[in-house]
Amino acid sequence: MKKALLPSERASWTATLLLIVAGVLFIYPFVWMFCSAFKDNKEIFKPLQLLPGAWNLEYYKLLFKGELIPFWRVFANSVLVAFLQALGTVALTSLAGYVFAQHRFRFQGLLFVASLVVIVLPQQALAIPLFSWLNELKMIDSIWGVVLPGVVSGLGILYFTQVFRQIPRELVEASRLAGLSEFRVYWTLLPLCGSALLSFGLIQFILSWHEHLIPLLVLSTQDKQTLPLALASLFGSSLRFPFAVLMAASTITILPTAILFAVMHRRFKSSLSEVLPH
């Protein structure tokens, strides 16, 4: 007799087929976008025509020349903002997460809930007050005005508290008995959560890469803008320009997060499932 397999081990062809249909519907626009970077304006406005008449690289060249938007400049800004924000968030929230997970102290519950409040009241919901505050601080039109408020992440606190809860207490106690200061204890535990740090860094990078509202309020000079802003302003401009340039820019905009995710996909999923309550 055949041993009964668990659902994760038996393959169902109907499920696979249905998923392929859903998947194709989900990514058709992306395939279309990739192909449309080679089309002229007449071809582009036929959404059902997928392949371009000719694989014409001139629109990429036009984009890289930087006359319509300073593309590489904007791209570099986006990378810088997202990287700094990811780094800052991981540093601050992992430290706080360690404290919440491995210490008992007065006002612990209150402080924890205070940081959770940031999840339900994110900076986008408070964008106008944030803008006028940054205005008072003279941080308008500086990338720090985007990066610094962005590192206050309630999600990070929740995530790293769960991560540091997984670490055996004996290990923490042993490091304390060895006479390390609390910060050194945290520092020695860090390598144990490498995956978790990278995963959350990736999430924060993606969130920051996508952010539209806050940079729109803060950054006004074109040379300081990030990708969503540049794409939106090109799209909204009354200029007559080949739409293929916009599609080429969009294609490159998607690449970094898509590649990062594809590379880290497995690590990301397992570190996520470790922190989820079960």
Q: Which amino acid is at 254?
A: I
* Residue pair 270/255 in contact by the 8 Å Cβ criterion: no
CA distances from 116 to 40, 159, 191, 196 (A): 49, 11, 26, 19
The CA distance from 168 to 130, in Å, is 40
- Find the binder of another protein among 1, 117, 177, 239 (CB under 8 A): 117
Tokens of 238: 């009354």
In this structure, is the dihedral angle defined by the CA atoms of residues 62, 224, 124 and 97, taken in order, positive or negative?
Answer: positive
Nearer to another protein, 96 or 219 (CB): 96
The interface region with another protein, picked from 2-10, 51-59, 65-73, 189-197 by CB under 8 A, is 2-10
DSSP state of 7: T
* 7 scored as a contact of another protein (CB under 8 A): yes
- Find the binder of another protein among 73, 87, 182, 195 (CB under 8 A): 182
- Find the binder of another protein among 79, 92, 192, 198 (CB under 8 A): 92
- Find the binder of another protein among 57, 80, 121, 174 (CB under 8 A): 121
Backbone angles phi, psi at 275, to 5 degrees: -90, -15
- Segment 51-90, which members bind another protein (CB under 8 A)? none
* 170 scored as a contact of another protein (CB under 8 A): no
* 194 scored as a contact of another protein (CB under 8 A): no
Tell me, by CB under 8 A, how many residues bind another protein: 103
The CA distance from 204 to 153, in Å, is 9
Closest separation in Å from C-beta 273 to another protein? 4
Closest separation in Å from C-beta 45 to another protein? 7
